[in-house]
Structure 1
């Protein structure tokens, strides 16, 4: 991982791209390739979602970036091999916890799993 940049880690590597595909499928969104934070912001701002739901999706991506960073650190510094297939599950769970606490626990887990874009905030 010598010479790895944050741009590569968060936008170009296969692990990140696979994770974003899963998030897009979960949110029923068309995903374009973005190669930088600026590209991602342009994509996010182009989405036809309410301000509140867009804010929730933004939070999901922040959780995804945290999960990618954590995964990378375990790969480099950990004594056990992390499980790639669990990253998306962690993003769903941690982002639910974040959104739920911001909304005083009024978010339904089943709605979160099936169609988070339909939440009433």
Structure 2
């Protein structure tokens, strides 16, 4: 719906920004699709994600591709819901890292971003689902171990 205030969206709304380039790679216009799929930082995070969840490599060209990714995952409805939640958490962590880099001198480090994906998604699932007895050790290695 083009409501995420990326730099290109802010410029379209006549809001002055210092630079409209991606804060992670400084190579392209910071749009929603670039920030979440095309940027080298996002690509590395999604590579780590697919290895962690043990799914084929993710080839997404838009945010919509990411939000629909869970539909093509093998497994039951619960597995698909967990993968959808993991994708949402990963997008949130990329957005938070982008904002930290702009507003509080964050690093944008892939390892830090992905570490936050693992910890936030563990806390999210443990507190908001029937999987209240999740094991951090098992989760850290493979988030769908309980399926």
User: Which range, TM-score by smaller chain?
Assistant: 0.7 to 0.9
> Is 1:4 the equivalent of 2:34?
no
Query: Where does the alignment leave 5 or more consecutive residues of structure 1 unmatched?
Result: none
- The offset of 1:42, in angstroms, is 4.4
> Is 1:119 the equivalent of 2:146?
yes
- The offset of 1:75, in angstroms, is 1.4
Equivalent residues in 2 for 1:81-120 (5 A)? 81-82=106-107, 84=109, 85-103=111-129, 105-120=132-147
Q: Which residue of 2 aligns with 1:35?
A: 61
Equivalent residues in 2 for 1:11-30 (5 A)? 11-30=37-56
TM-score, scaled relative to structure 1: 0.87
In 1, distance between residues paired with 2:123 and 2:69? 25
- The offset of 1:102, in angstroms, is 1.5
Aligned length: 119
Q: Which residue of 2 aligns with 1:62?
A: 88
- Greater relative contact order structure (CA < 8 Å, 6+ sep): 1
Query: Where does the alignment leave 5 or more consecutive residues of structure 2 unmatched?
Result: 1-18, 21-28
TM-score, scaled relative to structure 2: 0.73
More helix by share: 1
- The offset of 1:51, in angstroms, is 1.1
